[in-house]
Amino acid sequence: MNSKALAGRVSIVTGGASGIGEAVARRFAREGARVLVADVDAKRGARLAEEIAAVEFLEADVSSLTACQVLVEAALERFGRLDVLVNNAFWSRARRVYKLEPEDWRRTLEVTLDAVFYGMRAALPVLVEREAGCIVNTASISGLGADDGMSAYNAAKAGVVNLTRTAALEVAHRGVRVNCVCPGLIETPAVTRAFLGDADRREKIAAQIPMQRLGRPEEIANAVLWLASDEAAFVTGSALVADGGSSIGSGVPKLFF
């Protein structure tokens, strides 16, 4: 791949102050893009913008259409154009269906699915008008199958995968690509907080992954970069899995020991 795959491009990364979004923002900046990071975490966002000249920060809760419209306007005002939108922010309450509070279901859907629609609703008119550019949504392998205890997240991410396909179909003839990445378990602040309490737990979790390890945020940023780059010019509507093999299995229990 060209050493500056995004030279001259302008991007927005939601949830870009931490984890996968932060890795995407850093990678995009290294590849020559200017990046507008949007996040509710003003402290981390401001710190990232201070550290990297090509990154600017806007404090925003992307779970409203107005906020996403302001974000797109800000990118156009500050940088004069928009080429790539990465819808990556999420929030989730992990509970089984029969224990999940309705307000936690709603908030998970608002931040994890509605915000992807709002981001695309705000950005696509700009991209379609110019007949160029692309969107990369952060979905998950949790959008391709079920996980015990993550009902709202599974539903939201499945929505992200199919919304990606629908949007891709609708704008393909206008020169705009829409794809999503489906990461497996990646060691980010969110995952560490929720699941990786101690070394024993971490080891037990890693042992269930065919590659025997968790993924790194930078490995997902690589996938997002490829989808956003001209190297993927004929790729649209895809759900690119990067999961160390977690989702390969058919579900049939292990039979040979």
Ligand X SMILES: NC(=O)c1ccc[n+]([C@@H]2O[C@H](COP(=O)([O-])OP(=O)(O)OC[C@H]3O[C@@H](n4cnc5c(N)ncnc54)[C@H](O)[C@@H]3O)[C@@H](O)[C@H]2O)c1
| Residues with active-site annotation | 153
- Quickly count: other Cβ atoms within 10 Å of residue 105's Cβ: 17
Which residue is listed with tokens 């079920």? Answer: 146
Q: Does 151 bind ligand X (CB under 6 A)?
A: no
Examine residue 236 and tell whether it contacts ligand X (CB under 6 A).
no
- Binding of ligand X by 120 (CB under 6 A): no
Cβ nearer to ligand X, comparing 174 with 247: 247
Q: Does 119 bind ligand X (CB under 6 A)?
A: no
- Identify the residue among 19, 119, 133, 244 touching ligand X (CB under 6 A): 19
- C-alpha separations of 204 from 46, 213, 214, 252 in Å: 36, 10, 11, 21
Instruction: Return the number of the residue (174 or 187) whose C-beta is nearest ligand X.
Output: 187
Q: Does residue number 104 form part of the binding site for ligand X (CB under 6 A)?
A: no
When asked if residue 71 is in the footprint of ligand X (CB under 6 A), the reply is: no
Q: Which stretch binds ligand X (CB under 6 A): 69-77, 98-106, 187-195, 227-235?
A: 187-195
195 Cβ contact partners less than 8 Å away, ≥ 6 residues apart: 185, 201, 205
Nearest distance from C-beta of residue 227 to ligand X, angstroms: 14
CB neighbours of 235 closer than 8 A, spacing ≥ 6?
177, 179, 227
Which of 5, 10, 12, 17 binds ligand X (CB under 6 A)? It is: 17
Rounded least distance, CB 207 to ligand X, Å = 16
Q: Are residues 240 and 227 in contact, defined by beta-carbon separation less than 8 angstroms?
A: yes
Of the candidates 205, 125, 234, which has an alpha carbon nearest to the alpha carbon of residue 170? 125
Q: Does 88 bind ligand X (CB under 6 A)?
A: yes
